[in-house]
A and B are shown apart, each in its own frame.
Chain A
Amino acid sequence: MSDVLAVNAVDLTKTFGPLTAVDHISLQVAQGEVYGVLGPNGAGKTTLLRMLFGLIRPDGGTLELFGRSWPRNGVHALDGVAGFIESPKFYPGLSGRRNLQLLAGLDGLDGPSAATRVDEVLDAVDLLGRDRDKVRGYSFGMRQRLGVAAALLRAPRLLVLDEPANGLDPAGIRDMRALVKRLTGSGLTVLLSSHDMAEVEQICDDVTIMRTGQVVYHGSIAALREQAPAQAHRLATTDDERSMAAAHRMGLDVTGAADGGLAVRGSQAQVDALIAALVAAGIGLRGLALSETPLEALFFMLTESAPDAPTADLEPAATTGARR
């Protein structure tokens, strides 16, 4: 595999009036990598991807895809690149197959090779049975899958997916994640944006976390996991005041939850010991549940803290990844 980076963005900046949507972001994605761009809504993920596809122009910085850039190579910059931004859109009055046939024509495919290719990608996203239905009758999940099929038509080396599971029901999310995982298994480079830590954790090797246009973390998922806080539990008891005092005495991080009960953070052994102690003290246990995962907790810490809060305790990635 070539050493040329699939994505090499340096100091990218984009402003819309007074709003700096992307603020001096650098991002490197190696070929074959499965890379996540994570952040809450409004973090600048979609703006970053729009610049990647040339839909909007950066106000500063440079961006190369497989060594090609928009200013130097024009639309050739997109050779080998496919994907969708936000939810994929199609002509609603045409069937899914007809939409793909039109796009195949745009990709320079025609005749039997186009028909074969359309069949292949429809099969890959499991839409062959509904391919002759008009797109206006498709569910949101079917449109998302048609979007992946449209991207695969181009036989991409880099697949860019912007929130592919956004708006899907649980079954749709499961299917979409399974599809993306299958695609990543083929050696394809994938750049996936999401606001869902669990999704990125399941699919990606490396991640950049953004907040208000800036990078607050970049590096591997494994490194991020090591720096995550302990698992959090939601605890409901007959006497939260005494329970909180007991948790403090046992060295657990405990706070009162906004909607009642306690949020307790600590190792599984510590939480087990706390529960045993509460029961022994005659305090009734009314509820115990896992709350956000450690990585989700870290994600919320990173993206909900004050904009100038230091993130120095998080280690940067060595060779690939993003930096501010």
Chain B
Amino acid sequence: MTRASTGDLTAGPTTTAAGHGPRTGTRRPGTATVLRWEIAKLAAQSRARYLLLGCLLAPPVVVAVFAGQQPPSDTIYGRHIHASGFADALLILAFAHQWLFPLLAALVAGDIFANEDGHGTWKTILTRSVSRGQVFAAKTLTAVAFNLVVLVVLAASTIAGSLLIVGTQPLPGLSGQLIPAGTALPLVAAAWATAVPPLIGFTALALLLSVLSRNPTVGVATPVVLGFAMQLLSTLGGLDLARRLLLTTGFEAWHGLFTEHRFTGPIAQAAAVAAIWTAVCLVIGYLSLRRRDITGG
């Protein structure tokens, strides 16, 4: 090393901290600053960029493949995919809720806390004037915001791709009625929007597993496995109450939008269930992070 003077490095530029301590060279960041830091970190991850790119490009490809095949008539809206582009958008939504939404929710959220353990960077972050609450809030908001962006990109790409490839013909309703294109478009968009509450619920679940397991693989894979388990459970008879409390049930709440007499009760119920899951997961995750001794990472 060749530098001769470091004297100026300990005389920082800014504020006097509260209390009777020393003048400090940096100021304590607010939660917005920590949020910007977390977003900048996420933006630097190629995985996040590839995921968004995949959500943008994959749906039109899938629709194009469906267009050249026999329709999957045993799946909701499967038999109508050659008749209306709106049906394709709903078929993909139905497929997505089986495993894609839990996976999309977990890809970033399941890793966002655990990767600090993996890199050993907790002590790098927490030896600065940043509280664990701020870090938790920033990571949670980043994961939720990113997953909402993913959902919007996936929905927009799916709907636009379906309509461009197959067309904007009227959509057959679940009661046999025909829904004109002008009505079908907002209904299909609303159907995709009903995925928001359970998606946030799965995001919170992945965040919790990321905090507790300190292992990115567990944080990402477990929500997908739990999603499958919930769907399996929901097929069993005699479990109506339990079925209503499952996160995956909310992914099917859009069906009522496409009957002749629309009903939105399941959507409200799914939102309430997702809110409970989200609150419980986030509270446990926060308390766990707050009380944790950082001994390794």
Asked if A239 lies at the interface with its beta carbon under 8 angstroms from chain B, I say no
Asked if A156 lies at the interface with its beta carbon under 8 angstroms from chain B, I say yes
On whether the beta carbons of B7 and A186 are closer than 8 Å, the reply is: yes
CB-CB < 8 A to B297: which residues of A? 89
On whether the beta carbons of B2 and A126 are closer than 8 Å, the reply is: yes
Asked if A68 lies at the interface with its beta carbon under 8 angstroms from chain B, I say yes
CB-CB < 8 A to A178: which residues of B? 1
Question: Smallest CB–CB gap between B264 and chain A, Å?
Answer: 43
On whether the beta carbons of A79 and B123 are closer than 8 Å, the reply is: no
Find the A residue at minimum CB distance from B17. A79
A50-B294, A88-B124 as given contacts; A79 in contact with B9, CB under 8 Å: no
CB-CB < 8 A to A186: which residues of B? 6-7, 9-10
Find the A residue at minimum CB distance from B294. A55
On whether the beta carbons of A126 and B3 are closer than 8 Å, the reply is: yes
Which of A57, A108, A121, A150 is close to B14, meaning CB atoms less than 8 Å apart? A108
Asked if B295 lies at the interface with its beta carbon under 8 angstroms from chain A, I say yes
Which of A53, A92, A145 is close to B126, meaning CB atoms less than 8 Å apart? A53
Which of B8, B21, B294 is close to A68, meaning CB atoms less than 8 Å apart? B21
Residues A131-155 near B (CB distance < 8 A): 145, 150, 152-155
CB-CB < 8 A to A57: which residues of B? 293
- When chains A and B are docked, how far (Å) is the Cα of A92 from the Cα of B45? 11
Asked if A76 lies at the interface with its beta carbon under 8 angstroms from chain B, I say yes
On whether the beta carbons of A107 and B26 are closer than 8 Å, the reply is: yes
- When chains A and B are docked, how far (Å) is the Cα of A86 from the Cα of B29? 25
On whether the beta carbons of B124 and A73 are closer than 8 Å, the reply is: no
CB-CB < 8 A to B2: which residues of A? 126
On whether the beta carbons of B21 and A154 are closer than 8 Å, the reply is: no
Size range of the chain A interface in the assembly: 35 or more
On whether the beta carbons of B29 and A107 are closer than 8 Å, the reply is: yes
On whether the beta carbons of B119 and A91 are closer than 8 Å, the reply is: yes
Q: Mark B265-297, 1 if CB is under 8 A from A, else 0.
A: 000000000000000000000000000011101
- When chains A and B are docked, how far (Å) is the Cα of A16 from the Cα of B134? 27
A78-B128, A102-B37, A108-B26 as given contacts; A155 in contact with B11, CB under 8 Å: yes
Asked if A157 lies at the interface with its beta carbon under 8 angstroms from chain B, I say yes
CB-CB < 8 A to A188: which residues of B? 10
Question: Smallest CB–CB gap between B7 and chain A, Å?
Answer: 4
CB-CB < 8 A to A65: which residues of B? 21
Asked if A106 lies at the interface with its beta carbon under 8 angstroms from chain B, I say yes
Question: Smallest CB–CB gap between B14 and chain A, Å?
Answer: 7
- When chains A and B are docked, how far (Å) is the Cα of A24 from the Cα of B4? 41
Q: Mark A49-81, 1 if CB is under 8 A from B, else 0.
A: 010011111000000011110000111101110
CB-CB < 8 A to B3: which residues of A? 123-126, 182
Asked if B33 lies at the interface with its beta carbon under 8 angstroms from chain A, I say yes
Residues B161-197 near A (CB distance < 8 A): none
On whether the beta carbons of A156 and B25 are closer than 8 Å, the reply is: yes
On whether the beta carbons of A80 and B22 are closer than 8 Å, the reply is: yes
On whether the beta carbons of A154 and B36 are closer than 8 Å, the reply is: no
Q: Give the most central of B10, B11, B44, B130: most A CB within 10 Å.
A: B10
Q: Give the most central of A56, A108, A187, A188: most B CB within 10 Å.
A: A108
Find the A residue at minimum CB distance from B40. A102
Asked if B34 lies at the interface with its beta carbon under 8 angstroms from chain A, I say yes
Asked if B20 lies at the interface with its beta carbon under 8 angstroms from chain A, I say yes
Asked if B28 lies at the interface with its beta carbon under 8 angstroms from chain A, I say yes
A85-B127, A186-B7 as given contacts; A106 in contact with B29, CB under 8 Å: yes
Asked if B41 lies at the interface with its beta carbon under 8 angstroms from chain A, I say yes
Asked if A94 lies at the interface with its beta carbon under 8 angstroms from chain B, I say yes
Asked if A4 lies at the interface with its beta carbon under 8 angstroms from chain B, I say yes
Asked if B54 lies at the interface with its beta carbon under 8 angstroms from chain A, I say no
Asked if B120 lies at the interface with its beta carbon under 8 angstroms from chain A, I say yes
Find the B residue at minimum CB distance from A67. B20
- When chains A and B are docked, how far (Å) is the Cα of A113 from the Cα of B14? 11
On whether the beta carbons of A53 and B9 are closer than 8 Å, the reply is: no
Asked if A183 lies at the interface with its beta carbon under 8 angstroms from chain B, I say yes
Find the A residue at minimum CB distance from B46. A93
On whether the beta carbons of A106 and B1 are closer than 8 Å, the reply is: no
CB-CB < 8 A to A91: which residues of B? 41, 44, 119, 121
On whether the beta carbons of A89 and B124 are closer than 8 Å, the reply is: yes
Asked if B131 lies at the interface with its beta carbon under 8 angstroms from chain A, I say yes
Question: Smallest CB–CB gap between B282 and chain A, Å?
Answer: 21
Residues A84-105 near B (CB distance < 8 A): 84-86, 88-94, 98, 102-103, 105
Residues of A within 8 A of B (CB): 2, 4, 31, 50, 53-57, 65-68, 73-76, 78-80, 82-86, 88-94, 98, 102-103, 105-109, 113, 120-121, 123-126, 145, 150, 152-157, 159, 175, 178-179, 182-183, 185-188
Residues of B within 8 A of A (CB): 1-14, 17-29, 33-34, 36-37, 40-41, 44-45, 119-131, 293-295, 297
Q: List 8 additional contacts besides A80-B25, A94-B44; criterion CB under 8 Å.
A: A66-B21, A67-B20, A89-B297, A105-B29, A106-B29, A154-B25, A155-B9, A156-B10
